[in-house]
């Protein structure tokens, strides 16, 4: 089935390596029934080499490897009416010139949040069992501990820093367990906290009283390096810190010092700053650091969910229905 004669003209621009993961054949076929393709897919570099292809484009589809939506690109795309991004953050590609045009931009952050929240849930449950710490002790002592003391997933306290989309998803997962969940988020209202099933608390209480603390705050000037030695050293014995947000939230040198002095603690770091760490970083060798290479977000077929969100939003756009995942400048700044 071909697109109708009045269909918008579209162009797909993103890196080639992950294109089929994000836009699998069935999703591309669905998009093709809604739009007229202006040209075959391009990479950002190919677009830069021949930008005139944008002249008649109404809809720009993209993902990882998106072009920067600056004044030069916008001048080449006078008909551009919407941008659909099959990825989470749009901070790196939006500019004041773009926002000034008033063009709607859709982010698939909600779809990318799903596997991040699932990964976090798994690590929270492992942290409540102190599975990583006990595994270290077993390997070191070559014996099984007898009846180890762990909080377990019954009436323990879990802390979330950030109640954005991912934080709320994690809170929703944790609501299925008999746990107390507290959260820190200066932008969250009491009603938001109530709907998420959490109690609001300050960051000091979060670190001092929770057996597991999970970071879901955006990277902003006010949050960079906010997790330093004082907060980390206030963690309860055997506590677990999880970071799937941004590595720069943690003062890494301070974290290394505390983790060396507190072998009872565990840090599960899916993100670092820089990323990856320098080859000589102690994060590679500290026994109480679980280091993973940014795998919490969508991988493999999980990425199909991002393209499906774009397809669903594109369908709404062609039917002149309200977009569910369009961003405004203020919200875009929080999607770090």
Which residues are identified as catalytic? 246, 275, 294
CA angle 88-93-96, nearest 5°?
Answer: 120
- Output the CA–CA distances (angstroms, integers) from residue 15 to 38, 43, 46, 222, 277, in the order listed: 18, 5, 10, 32, 24
How distant is the alpha carbon of residue 260 from its chain centre? 28
- Distance, in Å, from the CA atom of 176 to the CA atom of 312, rounded to the nearest integer, reads 29
- Output the CA–CA distances (angstroms, integers) from residue 56 to 11, 66, 79, 101, in the order listed: 10, 19, 6, 17
Check: CB of residue 236 under 8 Å from CB of residue 266: no
Coil, helix or strand at residue 325: coil
Residues 6 or more apart in contact with residue 307 via CB below 8 angstroms: 22, 23, 24, 27, 63, 86, 108
Tokens of 91: 């901070």
Alpha helices (H) along 197-275: 203-209, 229-233, 252-261
- Output the CA–CA distances (angstroms, integers) from residue 54 to 77, 87, 240, 254, 295, in the order listed: 5, 21, 49, 48, 34
């Amino acid at each position: 089935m071909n697109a109708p004669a009045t269909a918008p003209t579209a162009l797909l621009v993103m890196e080639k390596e992950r294109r089929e993961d994000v836009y699998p054949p069935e999703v591309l076929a669905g998009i093709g029934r809604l739009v007229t393709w202006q040209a075959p897919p391009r990479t950002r570099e190919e677009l830069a080499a021949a930008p005139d292809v944008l002249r008649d484009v109404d809809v720009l589809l993209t993902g990882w490897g998106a072009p920067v939506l600056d004044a030069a690109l916008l001048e080449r795309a006078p008909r551009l009416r919407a941008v659909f991004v099959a990825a989470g953050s749009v901070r790196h590609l939006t500019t004041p010139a773009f926002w000034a045009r008033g063009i709607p931009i859709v982010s698939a952050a909600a779809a990318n949040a799903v596997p991040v929240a699932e990964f976090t849930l798994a690590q929270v449950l492992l942290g409540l069992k102190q599975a990583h710490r006990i595994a270290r002790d077993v390997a070191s002592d070559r014996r099984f501990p007898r009846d180890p003391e762990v909080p377990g997933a019954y009436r323990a306290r879990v802390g979330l820093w950030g109640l954005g989309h991912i934080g709320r998803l994690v809170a929703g997962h944790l609501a299925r367990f008999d746990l107390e969940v507290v959260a820190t988020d200066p932008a969250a209202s009491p009603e938001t906290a109530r709907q998420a099933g959490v109690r609001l608390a300050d960051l000091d209480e979060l670190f001092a009283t929770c057996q597991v603390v999970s970071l879901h705050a955006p990277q902003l000037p006010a949050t960079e390096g906010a997790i330093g030695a004082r907060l980390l050293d206030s963690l309860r014995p055997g506590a677990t810190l999880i970071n799937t947000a941004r590595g720069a939230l943690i003062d890494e040198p301070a974290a290394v010092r505390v983790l060396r002095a507190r072998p009872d603690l565990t840090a599960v770091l899916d993100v670092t700053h820089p990323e990856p760490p320098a080859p000589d970083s102690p994060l590679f060798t500290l026994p109480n650091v679980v280091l993973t290479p940014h795998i919490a977000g969508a991988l493999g077929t999980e990425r199909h969910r991002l393209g499906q969100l774009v397809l669903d939003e594109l369908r709404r756009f062609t039917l002149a229905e309200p977009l569910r995942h369009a961003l405004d400048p203020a919200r875009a700044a929080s999607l770090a």
